[in-house]
Amino acid sequence: MAHQRLDNVLVSRGFFLTREKARAAVLAGEVRVASVKAIKPGQRVDDDATIEVAAAKKYVSRGGLKLEGALDEFRLDVSGVRAIDIGASTGGFTDCLLKRGARSVTAVDVGYGQLAWSLREDERVTVFERTNIRHATPEALGAPFDLAVVDVSFIGLLVVAGRVIDLLAEEGSLLALVKPQFEVGKGRVGKGGVVRDPLLHREVLQRACDGMQDLGATTRGACVSPITGPKGNIEFWLWAQKGTGLSEAAIDVEAIVAEAHEKLGA
């Protein structure tokens, strides 16, 4: 079995852009090999060694951890796919997709200047800033895509989901973050901008799951996001595929919400 320097492996696997950054992370105690903290950047490791990097450094933003959780939960392999990241912001989702082997990612956001510079410079990334997904044409964005990941704020998911589904190839996947704080209406958001009521969480997630069929897609799964939003909001993931002739999953919304409150509180 081949052995390589740890800092080289960290770069080749996409954890860091340069050996200098990889070495710094090792020396800071942020890297583990086979669950053991690495001490020397030059230590030799097997090609297939299990490597873990501290969460804060793994992706350009914590959004990457959210998407990582969904991909693992739904067992989705994104290697080789053409993806579009809607609401890209700093680029946590884009970063996660690239590290998981996506062929290319089109990063779309209504804002400007937020995407991490490392992603802007990556030839696999196409950037559309100051772009409202509801007004952009599929042709302009380079559709069809195999996968769309969505994280939008200040607007309900179903308001934009139809447009997103139009961007997908047949049976292409939609992975959307369901954010109760932007779904329940201002009058039902609690103190500090946090939705804590599990009944509201159930209502929001059920509505998102049920709404896919009317938009030409089939709900395939749902789960809790592994980490909360910045203010502490519990969030959920919805997986759907374009097409209405697919086998629809039986989603136990009550169980998912119960698990969310057990793991993350509110």
What are φ and ψ of residue 156, in 5° steps? -75, 145
Instruction: With CA atoms as reference, report the closest residue to 99 among 144, 51, 164, 143.
Output: 51
Q: Is the pLDDT of residue 2 over 70?
A: no
Place of tokens 């200047």: 113
User: pLDDT tens digits for 41-89?
Assistant: 899 998 778 888 876 568 888 899 899 999 999 999 999 999 999 999 9
Q: State the residue for tokens 């696997």.
A: 13
Residue 180 has pLDDT above 80, yes or no: yes
Do the first three CATH levels of 3-58 and 63-264 match, i.e. the same topology? no
Residue ranges of domains in the chain: 3-58, 63-264
Of 57, 131, 48, nearest to 95 by C-alpha is 57
Q: According to the model, what pLDDT value does residue 55 have? A: 61
Where b means 16+ CB within 10 Å and e means fewer, 80-93 reads ebbbbbbbbbbbbb
Quick one: tokens of 183? 């779904």
Are the C-beta atoms of residues 224 and 264 closer than 8 Å to each other? yes
Q: Which CATH number fits domain 3-58: 3.10.290.10, 3.40.50.11270, 2.40.128.20, 1.10.3720.10?
A: 3.10.290.10
pLDDT for residue 259 is more than 60: yes
Of residues 242 and 27, more confidence is placed in: 242
- pLDDT tens profile 181-203: 988 877 777 777 888 899 999 99
pTM: 0.78
The residues, any chain, with a CB within 8 Å of residue 249's CB and separated by 6 or more, are 219, 220, 221
What pLDDT digit, counting tens, does each position of 94-113 carry? 999 999 999 999 999 999 99
Percent of the chain with pLDDT over 90: 63
Residue 67: what are its φ and ψ, rounded to 5°?
-65, -40
Strand-pair partners of 175: 149, 239
CATH 3.40.50.150 assigned to 63-264: yes
